[in-house]
Structure 1
Amino acid sequence: MSRQANRGTESKKMSSELFTLTYGALVTQLCKDYENDEDVNKQLDKMGFNIGVRLIEDFLARSNVGRCHDFRETADVIAKKEKYFWENKTKRQPKLYDAVKERGAASRTDASPLLP
């Protein structure tokens, strides 16, 4: 009984490998269900939009942010909260970032042919 009581207070975590496999299976199934690549992309876009809406709703529900009066104020609030989120994320996964540093792996922007 005490284990179930603690589950409500814990934040739910998922390993990146499980997330990658789940997302890969989802995309594979969409490719099987839809013949046209444009339809697959539309479904992925729709799903991404819905996930984004849920993330924003969760963010607003958990933070004590009042109503923003202009776009600049909205951007500042999001920037501060995102900075906090990513700082905490990198503290939890230092081995991943150290491994990337050691290998000298390039970021996606370094390899992009569209960027100067």
Structure 2
Amino acid sequence: MAEFLEIAKEWFFSLGEDYGVNPIIFGSIYVGAIPFFTLSIGWLVKNYRQKKSIVIPALSSTFFFISAYLYLIIAGENVPWWVYGVVVLMIVYGAWSTYRKVKNRIEDVQPGLEEEPGKSMK
């Protein structure tokens, strides 16, 4: 058991060297996000089963999944390429779902708006 703890300690403190950040802050964010990530996944599954929107739970899950790496973007170096990819995908997904929601609301308020091309709106 003592050997495992020593290996875990070495790994934890090596994070600072690998990324040029304080390993205590990085590790605290990394470990501290686990319960929030787990709750977000539960929320996502619950909404999916209830046929509710999964946009916010999906974005929340993704945020907590990469939260420690967001700290690296701000304060560190050698940020893995996939972190930037996930951030871009989160932004695109959030923008796309917002666009869809606004479009659907406009169509609900003004039904038939798209069905009559050629008429101008006043």
Confirm or deny a common fold (TM above 0.5).
no
TM-score, normalised by the number of residues in structure 1: 0.30
State which structure, 1 or 2, has the greater radius of gyration over its C-alpha atoms.
2
TM-score, normalised by the number of residues in structure 2: 0.29
